[in-house]
Amino acid sequence: MNLRKLIFTNNACYKAGRTITPKGIMVHSTGANNPNLKRYVGPDDGLLGKNQYNNHWNQDTPDGRQVCVHGFIGKLADGTIATYQTLPWNHRGWHCGSGSKGSGNDTHISFEICEDGLTDAAYFAAVYKEAAELCAYLCKQYGLTEKDIICHSEGYSLGIASNHADVMHWFPKHGKNMDAFRNDVKALLAADAPAPVQPPAPETLTDNSETIWNFLKGKGLNDYAVAGIMGNLYAESGLRPTNLQNAYESKLGFTDAAYTRAVDDGSYTNFVRDSAGYGLAQWTYWSRKQALLDFVKAVGKSIGDLNTQLAFLWNELQGYKAVLAVLQSATSVNQVSDIILTDFERPADQSEVVKAKRAGYGQGYYDKFAGKPTTPTPSSTEPPAADTMYRVRKTWGNAASQKGAFKVLENAKRCADQNPGFSVFDQTGTKIYGGTEDAAYETYVVVKGDSFWKIAADKLGNGSRYPEIKSLNGLTSDTIYAGQKLKIPQK
């Protein structure tokens, strides 16, 4: 599958900001002899090609209609076949109208296959294959099966769609129907499912597993999110914060414990630049290892201290907005495991086999801990130690910018107020006060049904000002979730 993304942020459907819990997939075809994606998807991203009429669907009401689907399949400018995601998969689309029993808009993910003249067997085979692979992908993402897939004409028969013939006016011309399509998706699901990965047995789960689980749960994450993170950490380090990448033990002449001691006592000075993976997440790149080293030094802990690495991990995740959005709204272990792998850990091997293995590890932790009461970690329940220091810096990682360290929080806040751009951080590196800059914006908590456009319209008086909100919050994705806190600029 050649999956790409160009979200229709200008379409009124996207601006409506309504979401669904996907219960199925509805397959459509465009009903027009134009197999080129650029007819429907735009503006040109360098692959689509230019639409000289500018009549694509990434506008408020394309062709004067309230219409929008989650994706399109068709030809790129170079003639290759691709899928473009055009709405978030859990967004409520406008794709099938309604029938006597309601509307599939409320329940189904949708995509359109760009039709040609309906007689080109090679083109049909290519887009049919792409459609089957897309459906298999979505089934795995949302826990669906091939039985949950219908076409528009079947939706009409079921009473949840308007009276359209697609795709049954096209598929039979090439010896296919929806039953055959569902069987092909079923085969893909079976073929793509690697041999079951044996999750770590309870006796192999390190003693650290419960501590890590409790720490992440204490951050407000649900069980899926915590398990997905932990499966990746297990794959990276076996949940051992002193773990030195195996290939470097012989290369550097250190065991895990010896390397940790040498970094702590300063006898080994190349920690940042040695390219060796280390710790829970196997931090490897020099800038991330420098940040880890600065973090532990600031709190006076060992480089291999578990709770300090967890605090650093959480602090680091705040800079991965797309990952954080998934963590805050996770619906499956696989969903979280995959985005941690591809967007946070980013190892060289991100194959389906690796994805399945890490998700399998995560499932092991889910099965062990999900739904059980958690014991808060000491750092979240014990009062600050008598020697707790509140540090005033530009960022936690920028130790050189520190203006001072205070035992009294109010004194630290006063220092931050006197130094614009500086904030107060506690002993874990968590920002607890933003100085006078915090008064420059309002904090808004996202509720169900919100979109950037709606929030901008309500709070700023103009929906088109939504990019200001994204910029202030450092966000690039258009996806927000209920409970998320957003900074709203002043009017």
Q: For residue 467, what is the domain's CATH number? A: 3.10.350.10
Residue 311 placed within a domain: yes
| Whether residues 8 and 85 fall in one domain | yes
What pLDDT is stored for residue 423 in this prediction? Answer: 84
| Whether residues 426 and 442 fall in one domain | no
What pLDDT is stored for residue 206 in this prediction? Answer: 47
Task: Please say whether the beta carbons of 344 and 320 come within 8 A.
Answer: yes
What pLDDT is stored for residue 46 in this prediction? Answer: 86
| Whether residues 154 and 225 fall in one domain | no
What pLDDT is stored for residue 28 in this prediction? Answer: 97
Residue 379 placed within a domain: no
| Whether residues 153 and 16 fall in one domain | yes
Task: Please say whether the beta carbons of 43 and 71 come within 8 A.
Answer: no
Contacts of 368 (CB under 8 A, 6+ apart): 202, 205, 209
**Using only C-alpha atoms, what is the Rg of the chain?**
26
How far is residue 364's CA from residue 360's CA, in Å, rounded to a whole number?
6
Of 310, 237, 233, 313, the closest CA to residue 278 belongs to: 237
3-state secondary structure (DSSP) of residue 59: coil
| Whether residues 121 and 82 fall in one domain | yes
3-state secondary structure (DSSP) of residue 53: coil
Domain boundaries, position 150: 3-192
- Where does a domain end: 335, 369, 403? 369
Bridge partners (DSSP) listed for residue 189? none
Phi, psi dihedrals of residue 376, rounded to the nearest 5°: -55, 145
Residue 304 placed within a domain: yes
Of 139, 147, 39, the closest CA to residue 84 belongs to: 39
Residue 33 placed within a domain: yes
| Whether residues 400 and 484 fall in one domain | no
| Whether residues 51 and 153 fall in one domain | yes
Contacts of 260 (CB under 8 A, 6+ apart): 242, 244, 302, 303, 304
Domain of residue 29, CATH code: 3.40.80.10
Of 427, 384, 424, the closest CA to residue 401 belongs to: 424
Residue 375 placed within a domain: no
What pLDDT is stored for residue 195 in this prediction? Answer: 43
- Where does a domain end: 431, 449, 480? 431
Number of structural domains in the chain: 4
Residue 374 placed within a domain: no
Peptide bond into 200 cis (omega under 30): no
**Residue 66 C-alpha from the chain's centroid:** 28
pLDDT values of the chain reduced to their tens digit, one per residue, 491 residues: 888 889 999 999 999 989 999 999 999 999 999 999 999 999 988 889 999 999 999 999 998 999 999 999 999 998 999 999 999 999 999 999 999 999 999 999 999 999 999 999 999 999 999 999 999 999 988 889 999 999 999 999 999 999 999 999 999 999 999 999 999 999 998 876 544 444 444 334 446 899 999 999 988 899 999 999 999 999 999 899 999 998 898 889 899 989 999 999 889 999 999 999 999 999 999 989 999 998 888 888 899 999 999 999 998 998 888 899 999 988 889 999 999 999 998 888 888 888 888 988 988 888 888 877 655 544 433 333 445 678 888 877 677 788 888 877 888 888 888 887 788 877 766 677 776 555 456 778 888 778 888 888 888 888 878 888 887 777 777 778 777 878 887 66
- Where does a domain end: 383, 405, 431? 431
| Whether residues 54 and 176 fall in one domain | yes
| Whether residues 138 and 76 fall in one domain | yes
Residue 378 placed within a domain: no
Q: In sequence order, what DSSP letters do the residues of 378-393 get, joined into one string?
A: HHHHSPPPTT--EEEE
| Whether residues 32 and 68 fall in one domain | yes
| Whether residues 442 and 339 fall in one domain | no
| Whether residues 179 and 227 fall in one domain | no
What pLDDT is stored for residue 436 in this prediction? Answer: 56
Residue 166 placed within a domain: yes
